[in-house]
Amino acid sequence: MSIPSDQIEQALREYARVVPSLRASTVGLSPDQLTARPGPGDWSIHEVVLHTVDSDIVAWDRMKRIAAMERPTLIPYDETAFAKTLFYHEQSLEDALALFELGRRQMSRILERLPVEAFERKGLHTDDGELSLLDFVRRYVGHVEHHVRFIDAKRERLGVPRTS
């Protein structure tokens, strides 16, 4: 059963549409506000952004492998271990945002050139089972939206809500 091309086109538009929202969610925050942890055990906004970028890097690899390989195995990663051991607060927020934007543009160029059938191809995620390329595109639209809402909630707790 073939995926209608309009569904793919919509998913690709959404994949590109959410890109500016990550940077916008950090505008107007001081370094102290970016690294504050408004609540016990919470990640800082800086850590949430770095996590979102790391997740996208993993997603780019997964999507490329699904597009290019026959039913590749996709392994999970421990996002908490990444945040604890990869020096998130010492990494440049600006560089991370630039990497996210550049990577999304590059991945979008690849996705836009693939035939419809490529979006039906599946990988086997060891935790989540079979997922198609289209599933991953949609998943990573939702992932950014989820974390932007999370950042907005943190901003509220810090007393610096977004104005736009």
Per-residue pLDDT of the chain (164 residues; tens, 9 = 90+): 688 899 999 999 999 999 999 999 999 999 999 999 987 668 999 999 999 999 999 999 999 999 999 999 999 999 999 999 999 999 999 999 999 999 999 999 999 999 999 999 999 999 999 999 999 999 999 999 999 999 999 999 999 999 86
* Contact partners, residue 52, CB within 8 Å, separation at least 6: 22, 100, 143, 144, 147
Three-state secondary structure call for residue 39:
coil
Q: What is the pLDDT of residue 63?
A: 98
Nearest to 115 by CA among 134, 143, 138: 134
E-assigned strand segments in the chain: 73-74, 122-125, 129-132
Q: What is the pLDDT of residue 38?
A: 82
d(CA 11, CA 4): 11
d(CA 46, CA 89): 7
Q: Which two tokens stand for residue 150?
A: 């999370």
d(CA 47, CA 89): 7
* Contact partners, residue 128, CB within 8 Å, separation at least 6: none
